[in-house]
């Protein structure tokens, strides 16, 4: 005789709803549940060896209860408590253990002081994925003997489950349990019911094409995909819980589908099936869909991460209590400095901020979102929902606009009312489409509610990314001092913060001190004769997986000023071949070799399509050549220590420089010495 695998010592059972207990015996069973002021017992006759007893709801969360059963002299009993129970599903970022994340000891102590418990449905030990098998049909009980983990045991459990449980218990003052079903590398298909998938011929065709559909004859013969076969996890870990009431579900999965737009479209269809199955099985309980970590995935078309999070946001409409949880604004830290060798940037170790948002979502919270966009002449007006006391006032970075030609340009945005943001761009007089935080590097997207909740990423047109999209580079963002660069796997590159601006890396000019703030990029230089009185600053134009857009736009427009006599010599660039070129510099419509700078701000333009070779021969840069540029340097000259401020750097297809008449005494470009002029 035994109880269903859920009912083990230390189990947390959902409060306030009827308690259905399932067990297995061969004769009449005397079932009993008793605790503080509560005592119910009854005899039940098993059917086919299965007995089922439903007890009245329990609202007492302060005391321990004993669930027992007796049959033919044999008796079993388990200690349980009542509170709130949640189901966790996903892949590695969900299953990532508490012992592997930041501040694990702090969270362990907080959890250990509370009635918090996790039923971790972990996989058995295996040497290769082929050893794992899944049941083809839904099961009625859990596959193995699992135990509810508390105290020190939580270090081996899901960090998100343990931390979210702690936060929820502290907030609601009740015991909190999580049933954790995630495993690294799972794909959404493992969580889908087969019958739901097979009702969608187009989805079946897609899954067959990508090797994610196994019929009965192929089941458990999928090699390394055995562990993630269609319906396998649903059959093994979700279906056996169909009579267990939950307070909510947390979903964190999508990395395995972050490939290209068609993949994301199918992922969206699968999310609809999943949410429908969860609601049919467990009722209309809160479902929290956590966005996947902001990583660069170097496969597919390179934008899979954006497509998947877009699909997760869109999935809110598939259920009445579904909430999408953004994470793009949470600094993704990957290294736990504990002396261990494990390190992979796909797994951020700062899980607590994400767990806090999960707890908020499970308690009915929602994140601000763009509900609709009204395009007017000269601007687009975003109407927001879930704004509570309103959006944080000021300018918001991360928006782009497209006009009639469909090409997106960086845009300026401002919160003009608690639930409204106005967006405009000089390059888009008649807006037709808009994006927010649809970027691979989202460090500077700062639209947020007054309480700090971030605005969900958005775009008016869901379509594959092409060259018309703008992924606003950090070097064009005012105040951007550092940006995360992520090369996916540490073995092939770095995953750390990079300075957005550094001392010029083409010329070896004079010393430069750089500061980045609201006023722009301020460089304080001490030029000298050894460096020909040159000094420069270089933007990070070559970051893993991120477009610098030099090949996609015609001009850099920028503003410059200096505290004393100086001149701007333009921008030089280095191609991957090593060859160095200079972009053409414009004073209004006139091409010039240098521009004098002074205390008055000066608006100038740098052509991204035309320039000069080292011998000063004119060059029209092909798109292919421009894509190969890996370094750039904004070059200046001054004969005395000078401070130059560069601001309002933007991408454009229009020369927006404003000519300024040279004033007497302004710096002039030195003429060539007669004996050094090249023959013509």
CATH number of the CATH domain containing 14: 2.60.40.10
Q: What does the alpha-carbon distance between residue 498 and residue 320 come to, in Å, rounded to a whole number? A: 42
Q: Quick check: 676 pLDDT over 70? A: no
Q: Do 240 and 129 fall within a single domain?
A: yes
Q: What does the alpha-carbon distance between residue 7 and residue 79 come to, in Å, rounded to a whole number? A: 9
User: Which has the minimum average pLDDT: 221-230, 321-330, 337-346?
Assistant: 337-346
pLDDT, tens only, 136-151: 999 999 999 999 999 9
pLDDT-based confidence at 664, cuts 50/70/90? very low
List Cβ neighbours of 72 (8 Å cut-off, separation of 6 or more).
Answer: 26, 27
Q: Among residues of the chain, what percentage have pLDDT more than 90?
A: 87
Q: Do 301 and 428 fall within a single domain?
A: no
pLDDT-based confidence at 133, cuts 50/70/90? very high
**Mean pLDDT, range 235-240, rounded to an integer:** 98
Q: Do 71 and 98 fall within a single domain?
A: no
Q: Quick check: 209 pLDDT over 90? A: yes
* Domain boundary pick from 313, 331, 362: 362
Higher pLDDT, 219 or 670: 219
pLDDT-based confidence at 672, cuts 50/70/90? low
Does 646 reside within a domain? yes
Q: Among residues of the chain, what percentage have pLDDT more than 70?
A: 97
For residue 246, the enclosing domain spans 83-362
CB 449, CB 391: distance < 8 Å:
yes
Q: Report the relative pairing of strands 248-252 and 287-290 from DSSP bridges.
A: parallel
Q: Residue 276 burial (CB < 10 Å; 0-12/13-18/19+)?
A: middle
Bridge partners, residue 484, by sequence: 497
- At 667 the pLDDT is 44
Q: Which two tokens stand for residue 269?
A: 């269809």
pTM here is 0.94
Task: Indicate which CATH number applies to the domain containing 339.
Answer: 3.40.50.1110
pLDDT, tens only, 417-462: 999 999 999 999 999 999 999 998 899 999 999 999 999 999 999 9
Bridge partners, residue 224, by sequence: none
Q: Quick check: 666 pLDDT over 50? A: no
Q: Kindly report the number of other CB atoms within 10 A of residue 346's CB atom.
A: 21
Q: Residue 670 burial (CB < 10 Å; 0-12/13-18/19+)?
A: exposed
Q: Do 21 and 147 fall within a single domain?
A: no
Higher pLDDT, 294 or 76: 76
Please count the structural domains in the chain: 4
- At 630 the pLDDT is 96
User: Which has the minimum average pLDDT: 124-133, 211-220, 473-482, 578-587?
Assistant: 124-133
Q: Is the dihedral of CA 584, 500, 438, 627 positive or negative?
A: positive
Q: Do 612 and 510 fall within a single domain?
A: yes
Give the DSSP per-residue string, 584-600. Answer: EEEETTEEES-EEE-SS
3-state helix, strand, coil in the chain (%, to 5): 20, 35, 45
- At 487 the pLDDT is 86
CB 272, CB 311: distance < 8 Å:
no
44: phi > 0 → left, psi -120 to 50 → alpha, else beta; which?
beta
pLDDT-based confidence at 674, cuts 50/70/90? low
Does 677 reside within a domain? no
Q: Do 356 and 374 fall within a single domain?
A: no
Q: Do 462 and 502 fall within a single domain?
A: no
Classify 78 as helix, strand or coil: strand
Does 678 reside within a domain? no
| CA 332 and chain centroid, separation | 9
Does 483 reside within a domain? no
**Mean pLDDT, range 564-568, rounded to an integer:** 96
pLDDT, tens only, 512-541: 999 999 999 999 999 999 999 999 999 999
Q: Do 339 and 468 fall within a single domain?
A: no
The residue assigned the tokens 């250990």 is 112
Return phi, psi of residue 38, to 5°: -135, 130
Q: Do 55 and 140 fall within a single domain?
A: no
Q: What does the alpha-carbon distance between residue 311 and residue 299 come to, in Å, rounded to a whole number? A: 18
Q: Report the relative pairing of strands 420-424 and 379-385 from DSSP bridges.
A: antiparallel
Does 669 reside within a domain? no
Using CA atoms, how far residue 533 sits from 7, 289, 530, in Å, is: 78, 56, 7
- Closest by CA to 427, choosing from 653, 614, 632, is 653
pLDDT-based confidence at 336, cuts 50/70/90? confident
pLDDT-based confidence at 545, cuts 50/70/90? confident
List Cβ neighbours of 585 (8 Å cut-off, separation of 6 or more).
Answer: 568, 569, 570, 571, 591, 592, 593, 594, 595, 604, 605, 606, 607
- At 290 the pLDDT is 98
Q: Do 89 and 74 fall within a single domain?
A: no
Q: Which two tokens stand for residue 295?
A: 């990583």
- At 297 the pLDDT is 85
Q: Do 136 and 76 fall within a single domain?
A: no
Q: Do 407 and 353 fall within a single domain?
A: no
- At 660 the pLDDT is 72
Does 480 reside within a domain? no
pLDDT-based confidence at 673, cuts 50/70/90? low
Q: Quick check: 469 pLDDT over 70? A: yes
* Domain boundary pick from 439, 472, 505: 472
Does 139 reside within a domain? yes
Task: Indicate which CATH number applies to the domain containing 604.
Answer: 2.60.120.260
CB 331, CB 296: distance < 8 Å:
no
What mean pLDDT value characterizes the chain? 94
pLDDT-based confidence at 495, cuts 50/70/90? confident
End-to-end Cα, the chain, rounded Å: 101
Q: Which two tokens stand for residue 394?
A: 């000021």
Does 427 reside within a domain? yes
* Domain boundary pick from 81, 103, 130: 81
Q: What does the alpha-carbon distance between residue 193 and residue 182 come to, in Å, rounded to a whole number? A: 16
Q: What does the alpha-carbon distance between residue 672 and residue 117 come to, in Å, rounded to a whole number? A: 79
């Amino acid at each position: 005789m035994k109880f269903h695998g859920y009912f083990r010592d230390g189990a947390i059972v959902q409060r306030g709803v009827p308690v259905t207990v399932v067990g297995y015996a061969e004769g009449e069973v005397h079932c009993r549940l008793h605790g503080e002021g509560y005592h119910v017992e009854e005899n039940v006759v098993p059917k086919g060896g299965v007995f089922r007893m439903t007890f009245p709801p329990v609202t007492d969360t302060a005391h321990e209860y004993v669930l027992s059963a007796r049959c033919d002299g044999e008796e079993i009993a388990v200690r349980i408590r009542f509170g709130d129970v949640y189901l966790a599903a996903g892949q590695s970022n969900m299953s990532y253990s508490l012992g592997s994340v930041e501040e694990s000891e702090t969270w362990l102590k907080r959890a250990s002081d509370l009635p918090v418990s996790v039923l971790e449905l972990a996989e058995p030990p295996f040497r290769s994925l082929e050893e794992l098998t899944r049941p083809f049909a839904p099961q009625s009980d859990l596959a193995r003997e699992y135990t509810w983990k508390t105290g020190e045991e939580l270090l081996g459990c899901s960090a998100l489950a343990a931390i979210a449980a702690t936060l929820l218990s502290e907030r609601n003052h009740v015991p909190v349990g999580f049933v954790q079903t995630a495993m690294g590398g799972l794909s959404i298909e493992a969580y889908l019911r087969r019958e739901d998938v097979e009702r969608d011929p187009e989805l079946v065709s897609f899954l067959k094409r990508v090797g994610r559909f196994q019929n009965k004859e192929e089941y458990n013969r999928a090699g390394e995909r055995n562990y993630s076969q269609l319906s396998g996890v649903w059959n093994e870990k979700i279906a056996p819980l169909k009579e267990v009431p939950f307070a909510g579900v947390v979903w964190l999965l999508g990395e395995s589908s972050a490939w290209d737009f068609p993949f994301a479209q199918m992922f969206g269809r699968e999310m609809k099936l999943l949410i429908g199955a969860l609601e049919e099985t467990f009722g209309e309980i809160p479902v929290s869909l956590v966005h996947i970590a902001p990583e660069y995935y170097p496969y597919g078309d390179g934008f899979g991460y954006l497509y998947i999070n877009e699909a997760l946001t869109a999935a809110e409409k598939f259920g009445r209590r579904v909430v999408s949880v953004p994470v793009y604004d949470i600094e993704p830290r990957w290294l736990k400095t504990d002396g261990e060798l494990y390190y992979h940037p796909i797994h951020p170790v700062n899980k607590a901020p994400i767990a806090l948002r999960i707890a908020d979502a499970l308690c009915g919270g929602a994140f601000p979102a763009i509900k609709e966009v009204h395009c007017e002449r000269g601007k687009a007006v975003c109407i927001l929902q879930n704004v509570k006391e309103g959006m944080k006032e000021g300018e918001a970075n991360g928006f782009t606009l497209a006009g009639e030609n469909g090409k997106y340009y960086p845009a300026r945005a401002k919160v003009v009312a608690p639930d409204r943001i106005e967006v405009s761009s000089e390059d888009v007089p008649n807006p037709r489409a808009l994006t927010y935080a649809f970027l691979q590097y989202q460090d500077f997207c700062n639209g947020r509610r007054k309480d700090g909740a971030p605005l969900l990423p958005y775009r008016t047109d869901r379509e594959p990314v092409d060259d018309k999209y703008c992924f606003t580079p950090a070097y064009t963002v005012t105040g951007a001092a550092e940006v995360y660069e992520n090369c996916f796997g540490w073995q092939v590159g770095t995953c750390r913060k990079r300075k957005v601006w550094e001392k010029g890396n083409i010329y070896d000019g004079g010393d430069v001190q750089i500061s980045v703030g609201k006023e722009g990029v301020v460089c304080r230089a001490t030029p000298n004769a050894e460096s020909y009185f040159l000094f420069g600053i270089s933007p990070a134009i070559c970051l893993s997986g991120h477009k610098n857009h030099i090949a996609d736009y015609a001009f850099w427009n920028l503003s410059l000023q200096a505290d004393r006599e100086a001149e701007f010599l333009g921008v030089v660039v280095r191609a991957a071949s090593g060859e160095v070129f200079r972009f053409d510099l414009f004073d209004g419509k006139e091409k010039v070799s240098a521009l004098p700078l002074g205390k008055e701000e000066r608006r100038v333009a740098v052509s991204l399509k035309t320039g000069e070779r080292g011998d000063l021969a004119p060059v029209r840069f092909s798109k292919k050549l421009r894509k190969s540029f890996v370094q750039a340097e904004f070059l200046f000259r001054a004969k005395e220590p000078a401070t130059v401020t560069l601001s309002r750097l933007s991408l454009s297809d229009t020369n927006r420089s404003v000519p300024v008449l040279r004033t007497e005494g302004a710096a002039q470009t030195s003429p060539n010495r007669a004996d050094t002029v090249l023959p013509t």
